A and B are shown apart, each in its own frame.
Chain A
Amino acid sequence: MSAQPGHRAVVGLAFFGYLALTLLIAILPAASVQNTPGLPGVAARSALAEEGRVIYLREGCGYCHTQFVRDLPLDRPYGRGTVAADYANEDPPLPGSERTGPDLSNVAARQPSDTWHLLHLFNPRAVVPQSVMPGFPWYFEIKAAGAAGDVVVPVPPRFVPAEGQVVVARPEARALVAYLLSLRQPELRK
């Protein structure tokens, strides 16, 4: 005769025990913090910036850029420590796990120029020679000359594929820049 527990007891305890632990450590804590309100006086993103956020998600920008500032001296360059309210209206929030590039929680305050961002998206090495970020040339059009309403990006000649051509931002690039320029940490009231 074996004194060992049978498969029903072990599997049953493992399943329901695990379900209970999951409730305790994931589902209930998540439910208790998910309705943290956003910071007062923070305007919703523009429709263009929201389009940009979708592009940011699908291009996987969040694998290299965090939006999660720790309240630590080494994170000071990126802004104040992230608080729950910062993620209130983010679906999904993008804290991230790796900083191959810098944190972007407050990038609009650090780098407010839309021209810089357009250049950087077209080819990061046009503005930061040592950068390893991928360029997104498919969000730009190479044309003989800019037409009315075109956003012409002042790309240095050696980064323009054909001589004498101009680089024009497509709507996707403009949306992405609008999103990046919406990343500005609201002040916390003391």
Chain B
Amino acid sequence: MLQRRGQDPTLRASVASDGPTVRVTFEYLACATVWLLVGTAAGLLDALKLNWPDVLAVQWLSFGRVRPIHTNTVFWGWSSMALVGLALYVVARTSRAPLWSPMLARIALVLWNAAVVAGLVTLSAGVTRGPQEYREWVWPVAVVFAAGLVLNGVNAYLTVATRRIPEFYISNWYILGAFCFLTIIFATAYVPLYQRGLGNVVVQGYFMHTAVGMWFTMLSLGIAYYEIPRVLGRPIYSYALGVLGFWTNILFYTLIGAHHFIFSPVPWWLQSAAILFSVGMMVPVWAGGGNLLLTFRGASGALQRSYSAPFLLAGVVAYLLVSTQGTLEAFRSTNVYWHFTNVTVGHSHLAMYGFVAFMIWGAAYGLVPRLTGSEPNPILVGIHFWLALVGYLIYVVSISTAGVLQGFAWVAGESFIRSVEAAEPMWLWRTAGGSLMVASHLVFAVNVWAMRPGRALAAVLTPPTVEASA
């Protein structure tokens, strides 16, 4: 049942939250929402082009140029900005301290927006490093992004370093870790000294894998470890499992990038190690995901009361599903049927959408109204949830089915075009699901606008004249 507006005490503006940090979080979220709309419009356009290849047949909107625009915009624009905006708040809040420098966070946001805009312009103009997934941006664009990344990392670190409580909460392990990891990952991906010939393929496997799992996953989990207990009003099921998940994730996840190049000339030991540790990934995944899931146990009341909890629960479930699927995809036997097919596309959307985007939405709806004092219309939040959930389920099921059909056609030795014909009806379903997803983003944008810092926050910010401490 949807709660009537303003009746949930956990959603009231908290006087403990400090204004500048709240504004910074909201600015990140607002920019991220713009990139969500741009990035998913690009995705929908490419989906349409597989149904009707001659639609919008102009050079800068051709399939191969829009593809990296979609992925890079939703990765570095939408997901990164939204996660970091939320993470900066979590870091400050769990340190019981204000953000070390809101100004630094704003400079970083300007740099990131500049990088995403430059990425859009260069990629549509055909200025690219070629189809090296998620590192297509030419180096000057990547350097601007990396500068913003380092600034945010330093800011988060110094906020924790100047905290006013002794505890170094588990969320901050994941969040500060993520900033360390992506800095190393970006540097590794762009330094050219070891990337001639097959060396490039080794780095590509490492990059496209860890950029997702050591950045987006780490930030999402860090935010989840703060937001899920807060929304449910109960402690995390096990702090120790969170710590176990953190270290095993670092160890196992980093070693498995080569499973993207099974049966390739990449050294055999690297491929075998990748398969082995892909099985090992079940430890951090079920320790972390299971931990969050167990925190939900018996909390059906909160699921009914809160409009953010359903997003968080859907995100945790998708995390467990997609990670288990990832392990299954890493075997040599499944590679034969699934590799190079649309199963990969289904997998990536289950991860970046079912898990990451839902975590962002859950945290945004759970935190932002409480910070700004401005609530979205709960009916619209519900519409967002169902459009996004039904849309992406249609998307993932249909595109994965397309992939399985492609794989069967190839293994059966049919002519290549048969695999295209087999996938085509599923590609129509994919576009239908994708349209619902895009529609849900428009509703989300309306809700973000409704949650903007308004008079309630201004009241909180001028303490002597306020009676809004209730």
Binding site for B on A (CB under 8 A): 2, 4-7, 10-11, 14-15, 17-19, 21-22, 25-27, 29-36, 57-64, 66, 68, 70-74, 77, 81-84, 86-102, 124-125, 128, 130-138
Q: Are B49 and A134 in contact (CB under 8 A)?
A: yes
Spot the interface stretch: B75-83, B108-116, B180-188: B180-188
User: Quick one: which of B130-145 are within 8 Å of A by CB?
Assistant: 130-133
A-B contact pairs, 18 of them (CB 8 A): A4-B167, A7-B168, A21-B251, A21-B255, A22-B206, A26-B188, A33-B267, A35-B196, A57-B130, A77-B416, A88-B198, A91-B196, A91-B200, A92-B129, A94-B130, A97-B260, A98-B341, A131-B420
Q: Are A87 and B201 in contact (CB under 8 A)?
A: yes
Interface residue from A36, A98, A102, A135 paired with B54 (Cβ < 8 Å): A135
Q: Are B64 and A60 in contact (CB under 8 A)?
A: yes
Contact partners of B420 in chain A: CB under 8 A:
100, 130-132
Task: Tally inter-chain residue pairs, CB-CB below 8 A.
Answer: 230
Contact of B190 with A by CB under 8 A? no
Q: Are B57 and A137 in contact (CB under 8 A)?
A: yes
Contact partners of B173 in chain A: CB under 8 A:
10, 14
Which residue of chain B has the shortest Cβ distance to A6 in the bound complex?
Answer: B168
Q: Are B176 and A10 in contact (CB under 8 A)?
A: yes
Contact of B235 with A by CB under 8 A? no
Measured as residues with beta carbon below 8 angstroms from the partner, the interface class of chain B is: 35 or more
Compute how far the CA of A119 lies from the CA of B162 in the bound complex, rounded to whole angstroms. Answer: 66
Q: Are A33 and B197 in contact (CB under 8 A)?
A: yes
Interface residue from A5, A74, A86 paired with B410 (Cβ < 8 Å): A74
Given contacts A74-B410, A131-B417, contact A136 B62 (CB under 8 A): yes
Q: Mark B55-87, 1 if CB is under 8 A from A, else 0.
A: 001110011110110000000000000000000
Compute how far the CA of A2 lies from the CA of B166 in the bound complex, rounded to whole angstroms. Answer: 7
Q: Are A72 and B131 in contact (CB under 8 A)?
A: no
Q: How far is the CB of A11 from chain B (nearest CB, A)?
A: 5
Interface residue from A7, A66, A90, A94 paired with B340 (Cβ < 8 Å): A66
Interface residue from B65, B181, B340 paired with A97 (Cβ < 8 Å): B340
Q: Are B53 and A11 in contact (CB under 8 A)?
A: no
Compute how far the CA of A80 lies from the CA of B376 in the bound complex, rounded to whole angstroms. Answer: 59
Compute how far the CA of A133 lies from the CA of B131 in the bound complex, rounded to whole angstroms. Answer: 16
Q: Are B257 and A25 in contact (CB under 8 A)?
A: yes
Given contacts A2-B166, A21-B251, contact A97 B172 (CB under 8 A): no
Given contacts A14-B180, A25-B206, A99-B340, contact A59 B64 (CB under 8 A): yes
Compute how far the CA of A89 lies from the CA of B340 in the bound complex, rounded to whole angstroms. Answer: 24
User: Quick one: which of B143-174 are within 8 Å of A by CB?
Assistant: 157, 160-161, 166-168, 172-173
User: Quick one: which of B13-63 are within 8 Å of A by CB?
Assistant: 49-50, 53-54, 57-59, 62-63
Which residue of chain A has the shortest Cβ distance to B64 in the bound complex?
Answer: A60
Q: Are A135 and B53 in contact (CB under 8 A)?
A: yes
Q: Are B195 and A124 in contact (CB under 8 A)?
A: no
Q: Are B194 and A74 in contact (CB under 8 A)?
A: no
Q: Which of A15, A22, A134 has the most CB of B within 10 A?
A: A134
Which residue of chain B has the shortest Cβ distance to A76 in the bound complex?
Answer: B413
Q: Are A18 and B263 in contact (CB under 8 A)?
A: no
Contact partners of A90 in chain B: CB under 8 A:
197, 200
Contact partners of A14 in chain B: CB under 8 A:
173, 176-177, 180-181, 250
Contact of B272 with A by CB under 8 A? no
Q: Are A70 and B196 in contact (CB under 8 A)?
A: no
Ordered nearest first, which 9 A-B pairs have the shortest CB separation?
A60-B64, A34-B199, A62-B131, A58-B126, A70-B263, A26-B206, A30-B199, A57-B130, A31-B194
Q: Mark B88-131, 1 if CB is under 8 A from A, else 0.
A: 00000000000000000000000000000000000000111111
Contact of B328 with A by CB under 8 A? no
Q: How far is the CB of B181 from chain A (nearest CB, A)?
A: 5
Contact of B202 with A by CB under 8 A? yes
Q: Are B194 and A27 in contact (CB under 8 A)?
A: yes
Q: Are B133 and A97 in contact (CB under 8 A)?
A: yes
Q: Are A98 and B62 in contact (CB under 8 A)?
A: no
Q: Are A63 and B67 in contact (CB under 8 A)?
A: yes
Which residue of chain A has the shortest Cβ distance to B135 in the bound complex?
Answer: A92
Q: Are B65 and A29 in contact (CB under 8 A)?
A: no
Contact partners of A70 in chain B: CB under 8 A:
262-264, 339
Q: Are B264 and A82 in contact (CB under 8 A)?
A: yes
